[in-house]
Amino acid sequence: MKYSGILRIGFKLLVNDKSKFTALLMGITFAVFLMMLMTSMFAGILTRAYSNVTNIGAAMWIMDPSVNTPTSVIPMPDYVLDAVRSMDGVSYAVPLYMGGALVKLDDGTYQSVNVVGLDDESLFGRPELEQGRIQDIYADNTFLVVDDAEYSKLENPKIGTSFELNDHRGTIVGIAKVAANGLNGVPTLYTTYNRAIEYIPSTRFTMSYVLVQPKSEAAVAGIKQLVAKLGYIAFTKDEFNKRITDFYTYKTGIGTNILMMTVISFIVGLSISGQTFYTFILENMEKFGALKAIGAKGRELIYMILFMATFTALTGYGLGIGLVTLMIWIARARLPNYAAIITFWNLGLALGMVIVIAGISSYVGVRKVLKIEPFDIFRG
C-alpha cells in the first residue's frame, strides 16, 4: 500500500498516547450510545404505534380523514361498507371495530382493554392462536386474548377464564400471539364485529374501518378516488404507517424531544472528540514537524490524520453500538414493555453523525499540521 508506512506511524502515535486515545474513544462511544438509544426508542415507539396495522395485515384501510392513529377512531356509517364493496377493483371489503372497554376481573378489580372486532363471516385479520380453536369465537360471549407484555394485567387468563365487560359475561376461548405489541400498555381482546358493537357502548355509527383487498395494484388509485368522493380516505398499509409516523414525529412532543436529545448527543461527542483530538495534535507537533523534515509531504500527513480520526471514530462507533445493544437486550429481558429497537436507519444516522465528527476533528488537525515548519520545530 502506497501510504502504509505513514499510516502505521499515525496508528502508533495514536494508540501510544493511551490517555488521549481513551478520551477520544469515550467521547465518541458515549455520543453514539446516546444517539442510538434515543433513535432506537423512537423506532420502538413507532413500531408499536402501528402495531394494529401490522397485526391486522389489510392491504388497504378506509377511514375518516381526521384519523391519525389506529386507536383514534372516528366511526363511519354502514353505507360506506356497501359502497366500497360495489366499487370496481375491490376483491372484497370487511368491517373492523376498534375500541376501548373496562373489564372486571375475578378479584373485583377493573382493567382497561383494547377490543378488536373482526368481520363475523371471514374473521379477516385474526391473530395466530397459541391455544384454543378459532371456531370457538362463534360461541356465546367468547373472546381471544393476546399473550403479550400486557397479558399479566388480566391475571394471566387461561382458556375458560371468565370476566365481565359492561355487564356482559365474557369467556376466553383462545390465547393468541401477534407480530407487534401495542403502545398504550393495555391488554388486547379479539372478538366478532357484532359482539363488539353489542357489548361496547358507541355512537350512532359503529364501524371503525373498512378493510379492503384490491384486485390488483393498478386498482388502488381508482379505489382511492371513489372513496374520496364518499368523503372518506383510503390508505395502503404503508401509507397508513407513514401517516402514523408523521403524526408522532411532527404533531406530538415525542419526535421533537427525541430530535433534541439526538442533536445534544451529537454536540457532546463532537465537542469532546474535537477538543481532545486538537490537544493530541498540539502535543505531537514536534513529531509531525520531524516527519516533515525527513520528507513527509503535506498530502501524506493529511492522510495520516484522516486515518487517525476515522479509526478512532469507527472504533467508538462499534463500541457505542455494542453498548446500546447490550443495554437494550438487558432492558427488554427484564422489562417486557420496553419498546426500543435497533433498525438500519438509526444505525445509518449514527454512522453519518460519527463521520461528521471524524471529518470536523480531522479538519481541525489538518489545518494545524499543515502550518508546521520544520525549522521552527528544530529551532525550539
Residue 137 confidence class, pLDDT cut points 50, 70, 90:
very high
Percent pLDDT > 70 in the chain is 95
CB 89 within 8 Å of CB 97? no
Rounded distance between C-alpha atoms, residue 73 and residue 61, angstroms? 12
CB 88 within 8 Å of CB 257? no
Sequence-distant (≥ 6) Cβ neighbours of residue 280 within 8 angstroms: 14, 17, 20, 24, 365
Q: Which of 201-215, 306-320, 365-379 has the lowest mean pLDDT?
A: 365-379
Residue 375's pLDDT is: 58
**Coil, helix or strand at residue 307:** helix
pLDDT for residue 305 is more than 60 = yes
CB 158 within 8 Å of CB 202? no
Determine the average pLDDT of the residues in 259-283.
78
Residue 31's pLDDT is: 84
Q: Is the pTM of this model over 0.85?
A: no
C-alpha closest to that of 94 among 115, 68, 123, 70: 123
| Residue 252, all three cell numbers | 406530538
Residue 136's pLDDT is: 93
C-alpha closest to that of 50 among 341, 257, 332: 341
Residue 376 confidence class, pLDDT cut points 50, 70, 90:
low
| Residue 153, all three cell numbers | 394485567
* 193 vs 149, residue with greater confidence: 193
* 330 vs 287, residue with greater confidence: 330
Determine the average pLDDT of the residues in 68-81.
90
Look up residue 133 and give its DSSP letter.
-
H helices present in the chain, as ranges: 4-16, 18-49, 51-56, 79-85, 193-199, 219-229, 237-250, 253-283, 285-293, 298-334, 344-370, 374-379
Percent pLDDT > 90 in the chain is 38
pLDDT for residue 379 is more than 60 = no
Residue 126's pLDDT is: 92
Residue 373 confidence class, pLDDT cut points 50, 70, 90:
low
CB 118 within 8 Å of CB 193? yes
Residue 378's pLDDT is: 56
pLDDT for residue 148 is more than 70 = yes
* 94 vs 17, residue with greater confidence: 94
Q: Is 295 exposed, middle or buried (0-12, 13-18, 19+ CB in 10 A)?
A: exposed
CB 52 within 8 Å of CB 99? no
How does DSSP assign 251-291, residue by residue?
SSHHHHHHHHHHHHHHHHHHHHHHHHHHHHHHHTHHHHHHH
CA atoms within 13 A on the CB side of 45: 18
pLDDT for residue 278 is more than 90 = no
H helices present in 112-202, as ranges: 193-199
pLDDT for residue 372 is more than 70 = no
- Domain boundaries defined on the chain: 4-48+253-379, 77-231
CA atoms within 13 A on the CB side of 91: 13
Determine the average pLDDT of the residues in 6-20.
78
Rounded distance between C-alpha atoms, residue 113 and residue 95, angstroms? 20
CA atoms within 13 A on the CB side of 247: 17
* 37 vs 9, residue with greater confidence: 37
Rounded distance between C-alpha atoms, residue 45 and residue 185, angstroms? 12
Average pLDDT value for the chain: 86
Sequence-distant (≥ 6) Cβ neighbours of residue 298 within 8 angstroms: 292, 370
Q: Is 299 exposed, middle or buried (0-12, 13-18, 19+ CB in 10 A)?
A: exposed
C-beta neighbour count of 162 within 10 angstroms: 12
